[in-house]
Amino acid sequence: MSSNNRIGILGAGRAGTAIARAAARAGVDVQIASTRSPSQMRYHLLQYAPHAEAVYAPQIGTGVELVVLAVPQEDLDDVDPEWFNTRILVDATNRWEEEPLPEWFTAGLRSGLSSSEVIAQQFPNAQVVKALNHISHWAMDAPRSDDARAAAVSSDSPEAAQEVAELVRVLGFQPVVADSLSAGQHTEPGTTYFNVAATSEQLSQQLI
Ligand SMILES: NC(=O)c1ccc[n+]([C@@H]2O[C@H](COP(=O)([O-])OP(=O)(O)OC[C@H]3O[C@@H](n4cnc5c(N)ncnc54)[C@H](OP(=O)(O)O)[C@@H]3O)[C@@H](O)[C@H]2O)c1
């Protein structure tokens, strides 16, 4: 969790705005960016993330320690790694079989890396943590108090994972931490608990 209780979100679509709404409910400040200027986004945000502050995409890492990446993987060629001079990048993206990918992404996957490991290579300035990708925007907006609300947090950095686990908790989920970034591939589309409610125990077993 950012020390100044403020996070950035790159991508203001279904995932990005749902995370922004959940953060606002929890009292976390959000700056959000998309391909559009703050002015072009104003009516969209009024409806979908009224408490978020719109910024230009290159400014998404300014003044925050943690940025959530909520941009489709096919669009990542247009995301400049220099924007992620922030400490932690939360990879909330998913690998969809039918989605075309930038060449570097396909090459990374072919070499045997998970999609988050490829993203970590592309954004070397940040510690990458895979999280929030398997929670649908519907579930993000539907807080529940039972245990079937676990969310995976996978990273090669234990410190970064703990900070993201705190964010996940604040957003209303029970974090289940896996000690490798590659473990996040067990929460991608086609896996058992993708967009499916899971208990901490169920998710822990899935992440092994
Ligand atoms: N939908 C869900 O429930 C959900 C939940 C968790 C994770 N995810 C994952 O999150 C990713 C995004 O999904 P989504 O459903 O939110 O997609 P979406 O509704 O299509 O929104 C995509 C957002 O990314 C922005 N974007 C595209 N290229 C960009 C760039 N170069 N720089 C900055 N912003 C850019 C778009 O900007 P504009 O608005 O300007 O077009 C749009 O705001 C996917 O990998 C998805 O699998 C989705």
For residue range 91-127, list pLDDT tens digits in order. 999 999 999 999 999 999 999 999 999 999 999 999 9
Amino acid at 35: T
Asked if residue 200 is part of any domain, the answer here is yes
Mutate which of 56, 73, 75 for ligand 1? The one with the most ligand atoms within 8 Å of its CB, which is 75
Cβ neighbors of 95 (< 8 A, separation 6 or more) are: 73, 109, 115, 185, 188, 189
- Which residues are registered as beta bridge partners of 30? 7
Residue 1: inside a domain: no
| pLDDT score at 144 | 65
Cα separations (Å) of 143 from 63, 134, 199? 29, 15, 14
Q: Is the dihedral of CA 181, 186, 187, 189 positive or negative?
A: positive
Q: Which amino acid is at 161?
A: A
- Specify the length of the chain in residues: 208
Domain containing 136 — which CATH number? Answer: 3.40.50.720
Residue nearest ligand 1's atom 47 by CA? 94
Strand partners, 88: 66, 127
44 lines ligand 1 (CB under 6 A): no
Ligand 1 lined by 12 (C-beta under 6 Å):
yes
75 Cα: distance to centroid of ligand 1 (angstroms): 9
> Is 80 exceeded by the pLDDT of residue 192?
yes
Is 80 a domain residue? Answer: yes
- What span, in angstroms and rounded, lies between the C-alpha atoms of 28 and 101? 32
Would you say residue 165 has pLDDT above 90? Answer: yes
Look at 149 and 53; give whichever has higher pLDDT.
Answer: 53
Q: What is the DSSP string of 18-38?
A: HHHHHHHHTT-EEEEE-SS-H
Q: Which atom of ligand 1 lies nearest, measured to the CA of 73?
A: 45
Q: Is residue 14 within 6 Å of ligand 1 at its C-beta?
A: yes
Q: What is the pLDDT of residue 1?
A: 64
The answer to the question of residue 129 being in a domain is yes
pLDDT at 143: 66
In DSSP notation, 33-62 reads: E-SS-HHHHHHHHHHH-TTPEE--GGGTTT
Count how many domains the chain has: 1
Mean pLDDT along residues 30-38: 98
**Pairing state between β 6-10 and 53-54:** unpaired
Contact 23, 43 (CB under 8 A): no
Ligand 1 near 77 CB (within 6 A): no
Assessment of whether the complete model's pTM goes beyond 0.85: yes
Q: What is the end-to-end Cα distance of the chain in Å, rounded?
A: 25
- Across residues 199-204, what is the average pLDDT? 95
Residue 25, domain member (yes or no): yes
Residue 58 lies in a domain: yes
Q: Is residue 150 part of a domain?
A: yes
* Structural domain range at position 132: 6-206
pLDDT at 86: 76
Question: What value does the mean pLDDT of the chain take?
Answer: 95
Residue 17 alpha carbon to ligand 1 centre in Å: 9
Cβ 82 under 6 angstroms from ligand 1: no
The pLDDT score that the predictor gives to residue 4 is 78
Banded pLDDT at 85 (limits 50, 70, 90)? confident
